[in-house]
Structure 1
Amino acid sequence: MLRDMEDLLNNVYDNEIKDYLKEALKCYMGGSYRACVIMSVIAGVYDLHKKVKALAGSDPSYRNLDNEIERRKRSLEVYEKYLFEQCATEEIDMLNNSELKELQRCLDTRNDCAHPSNFICSPEKARDIYSSVIDILASKPVLFGFKHMRNLIAEMEERTFFPVVDASRMKVIICEKLDRFQRKAIDPFFKLLSATIKAPNSPIQKTNALRFLALSVNNVAEYGQYVSEFIDKDQYEGELLILFEINIDILRVLSDTSIEKIISKLDTNLKSSEINSINTWINIILSERLQAPQYIENIGSILTNFSEFNLGFDKRDIRYEIVKMLLQNDNCSVDFKKMLGRACSKSFTLENYMEPNLRDVLILLNEKSLYEYWLKLITENVFGYDFNRGNRAISVFKTMPKENWLNNVSDEMKVTLVEEILIEGTKEGLYYSHDCRSTMNNLHLDYPELTRLFVDHIFSHSENDNNIKYFVGEKSKIVSKYIVAFEEEIEANIDKLLFLRSNNTDIDEIIDNIKNEVEQNPDSELKSLILAKLLDHKSESIF
């Protein structure tokens, strides 16, 4: 489709040049097509010379060219072709070869139109020259080429290169600077920018170059090639993380291979006892790109590949802290939390749970299955041949606030835990878990919910011969404490014991223990009531 010539005129950058081209358009509209061509090319030559002058003050190459053009003009020498050719040289670099050929064609057409001849200038030819001048020259500001790349890099040594440290404002500044370059200079400029980051002249230049590169992600095609070396080589990992810290959107344009390399770097970092730029890694993990289905399960597996807690060693597994921080982050999605929950459904050891951050992870995930596995492992380690493991199991148990797990495990698991604590706590000999015995003696005070459930269990299954073991020996002393601890149920439970007494005289032992516990109760009314009941039992047993 033909472009509207008046719309083309609106694209002209310089107002003075626009006036020339407006005259050219009037000539065209009046049918003076030769005049349109002549005016258009004059405007184009003038525009290009003005751009050379604009750069002459800061660059001797442009200054020398300007001086030569001015000399030729004073001497009435032909200079237009010379100007076009010089602006296409590597030193000046304002035109590429295709643009030079097109402008030379326009100049030849201008010459045909300016001299008497049998040349016929059609409206199409005039329109073509008019649009070419605007497209190649008049619609563009002063554009830099390769030579000015180094000038821009040198400017980055100034503290005021970015006058404000605001991402949106810095992006505007970057656009303004890049718009002054020819398109063909963009690729070598960014390669030079990457090289400057690796070997800067000063810390200020490096900081500005990193900001420029990080915030240019939407300004250049094939952006990934300019950060590829920072991804590929471990020695530049620090610079890579700074780039992501400045602009996490860089991940969006990277190839799948680059993302896989970044995940590999994450795995390597997680294997160390410390990790640099931990908050940046958090943002990387939670980025939309790494949350994609093809990466998420692998990341979950890497994050939860926890090592065991080492007693007496300073080395720690940073994964625990990372997972905790991820779950606490506002950007952590529900789906990602569910994935971490699945990944944490592993066969952890007791030593894993000794890490405080794993306890916090369980609380943040708040899943029934994870609490049940945690309590099952504690129960399995409370009683055994190694009293040290019993101590550790109790330590892990006590560090978890009961309000988090108590309603997330089955009653059966709770009863089994109390049973194992009683077995270890009443173990005879020198070798037993002291922490377990201490916990057993105070369980009715610290965990009344557990002891109430346990007492209810043994009385609801009192016909089971296996429960008789809690009414005799050392266990009866402890269980009597648990029974007496619940005043509202003590009468009913004593009645059940007295009923059982009719068939099993072994129960006398726990009845006596209850009597001893009650006698220490300051509640005189309760004491009198229970002792009277036990006294009646004693009298009945005599007869």
Structure 2
Amino acid sequence: MAKLTDMEELASTIIDKNVQSYMREALTCYMTGAYRATIVLSYIALFDDIIAKLDVLAKVNRKARRIYDEVSKKRADQEVFESDLINQLSSNNLMSSLDTTFLDILRKLRNKAAHPSGHQPSAEEARFIYYESISRFLSKEILSTTQLADEILVSTGDKNLFPSTDISIIAKVVKKELESIHHETYSYLVNKLLDKVISSDDAVSKNASFFLTGMTFNSDNEESIGAIRKYLIENKSQDDKFYFMIIRTITSNPKVLDGVDDITFQRLRVIIEERISNVESTLGHSRFSHPVSMFSSMFGVTEDSLIKRYFTDELNHLFKRFLYSSYLINNLGKSELAKENYINTLYSKAGSSDFDTANYFARNCYDIADDLDVILTEKDSFVLVLHVIKAADWGAFGSKDMRKAKFGSMPKIRDKARSYDSSNTAGAMKLYTELFGSDTEFNNDMNAYIR
């Protein structure tokens, strides 16, 4: 009975609903002991399905079109076509040798079963035909697991494959191209695309890179993400020719990092550190190849515990180099770890004893004041103001100007600091003492610059 249950479940995996109905009838025959009928019905369903899938493949493949036209003519003329079809599929690499061998076995068994040859089909024969027909063919979306992928690979030489560099458009193009691709093809396709990423042909290299990025963008398809994780993130993380591609892919979908082993993470640290150090100053921070964009994508998707474990140093380096990035600040709210580390870096810059560092903050804080207002609490704002006062005490002229102007360059942050002092004076005094070592000047500074 368990065998019958398995066969019923297998029938539900058939793609074509009409063929599924046909094979359920074949199953009924099997259950009643009509094994000859099971084989014949499976044979008819299988070859009908192959021809239907060949018709789909013929729309993009000239070899498939020629075979389909020839077979269709023989069929219409009621000529025997199955043996010729098997040979044509095999010789044109549209079907594996194992699959064509099975088809030939099925053809011979069907011929024995359909004619009064004295052969009595057994339950084992019928079950074998039923299982193999569905698992090898009827449950597959396409005829060949690589043919359509090869068509995609050829198209990477087309200059207009991607009509836009907008990632949403790229993802739509990729989705359309992958519509008829079976998930078993992803490994083959990804490996071939990676070979093209390092092509000397700029158009091919660009299109291959775009295609890989588009395969992951906003995707929950674990088959495609898993293939890129294995063959790019894990297998290429030691190859500097793919560093740029790895950064782009992580930015596109940080889920490619899920389940990655420790050695790969250590290699990724090298890649990310190199990119943070050497990224061009003119590159927009929202571009997929920019480390700011990469980390911004990771926030809220990659667990904070993982970022802390593997990328703390790189994250802090990112903050030091791109502290005044609005794009970065606007993405900090997705990660408590990132926001906390960023704010601590902000304090160190605002209150630095190095005049150049403190003055640089004073010159640039106006540009990001509104962005900072979104992530800073009243307490955070108060502490930031204290650090500026500290730098002013050390003599940084930019900090002294900010203090003298009562922080008019960042009025919302000043108002938050003022509110914190007003509502929690004891807490404000404690924070002041921790930073200055004494509360002697607390009221004087508050009255002069904040209240």
2:309 to 275, 281, 294: 294
Alignment correspondent of 1:354 = 359
Does the CA contact (< 8 Å) of 1:341 and 1:367 recur in 2? no
Unaligned ranges ≥5, structure 2: 409-413, 422-427
| TM-score, normalised by the number of residues in structure 2 | 0.67
Give runs of aligned pairs for residues 221-300 of structure 1, distance below 5 A.
221-228=226-233, 239-252=245-258, 254-271=260-277, 274=281, 276-279=283-286, 281-286=291-296, 287=298, 288-289=301-302, 291=304, 292=306, 293-295=308-310, 297-300=312-315
Amino acid at match of 1:92: N
Distance apart, 1:356 and its partner CA? 1.9
| In structure 1, C-alpha distance between the alignment counterparts of 2:352 and 2:56, rounded to whole Å | 71
Distance apart, 1:18 and its partner CA? 5.0
Q: Cα–Cα, structure 1 residues 326 and 6, in superposed 2: closer, same or farther, change >3 Å? A: closer
2:180 pairs with 1:180: yes
Q: Which entry has the higher C-alpha Rg, 1 or 2?
A: 1
| TM-score, normalised by the number of residues in structure 1 | 0.57
Does the CA contact (< 8 Å) of 1:52 and 1:66 recur in 2? yes
Name whichever of 235-244 and 274-283 sits farther off. 235-244
Q: Cα–Cα, structure 1 residues 270 and 414, in superposed 2: closer, same or farther, change >3 Å? A: farther
| In structure 1, C-alpha distance between the alignment counterparts of 2:206 and 2:275, rounded to whole Å | 28
| In structure 2, C-alpha distance between the alignment counterparts of 1:283 and 1:35, rounded to whole Å | 61
| In structure 1, C-alpha distance between the alignment counterparts of 2:318 and 2:72, rounded to whole Å | 69
SS at match of 2:51: helix
| In structure 1, C-alpha distance between the alignment counterparts of 2:177 and 2:4, rounded to whole Å | 29
Does the CA contact (< 8 Å) of 1:197 and 1:206 recur in 2? yes
| In structure 2, C-alpha distance between the alignment counterparts of 1:70 and 1:170, rounded to whole Å | 37
| Bigger relative contact order (CA 8 A; separation at least 6) | 2
Amino acid at match of 1:449: N
The RMSD of aligned alpha carbons is 4.8
Alignment correspondent of 2:94 = 93
Q: Cα–Cα, structure 1 residues 398 and 327, in superposed 2: closer, same or farther, change >3 Å? A: farther
| In structure 1, C-alpha distance between the alignment counterparts of 2:151 and 2:202, rounded to whole Å | 14
Alignment correspondent of 2:3 = 2
| In structure 1, C-alpha distance between the alignment counterparts of 2:189 and 2:208, rounded to whole Å | 15
Percent identity over the alignment is 17
Alignment correspondent of 2:425 = none
Give runs of aligned pairs for residues 12-411 of structure 1, distance below 5 A.
12-14=14-16, 17-18=19-20, 20-21=22-23, 24-25=26-27, 27-56=29-58, 58-66=60-68, 69=71, 79-89=81-91, 91-94=92-95, 96-155=96-155, 157=158, 170=171, 177-178=177-178, 180-181=180-181, 185-198=185-198, 199=201, 201=203, 205=207, 209-215=211-217, 218-220=222-224, 221-228=226-233, 239-252=245-258, 254-271=260-277, 274=281, 276-279=283-286, 281-286=291-296, 287=298, 288-289=301-302, 291=304, 292=306, 293-295=308-310, 297-303=312-318, 306=320, 318-322=321-325, 326-329=328-331, 331-341=333-343, 348-351=352-355, 352-356=357-361, 364=376, 366=380, 375-376=389-390, 378-379=392-393, 381-382=394-395, 394-395=400-401, 397-398=403-404, 401=407, 403=414, 404=417, 407=428, 408-410=431-433
Amino acid at match of 1:285: F
| In structure 2, C-alpha distance between the alignment counterparts of 1:393 and 1:9, rounded to whole Å | 75
Amino acid at match of 1:349: S
Unaligned ranges ≥5, structure 1: 307-317, 383-388, 419-443, 454-543
| In structure 1, C-alpha distance between the alignment counterparts of 2:114 and 2:62, rounded to whole Å | 34
SS at match of 1:201: helix
Does the CA contact (< 8 Å) of 2:170 and 2:214 recur in 1? no
| In structure 2, C-alpha distance between the alignment counterparts of 1:100 and 1:341, rounded to whole Å | 64
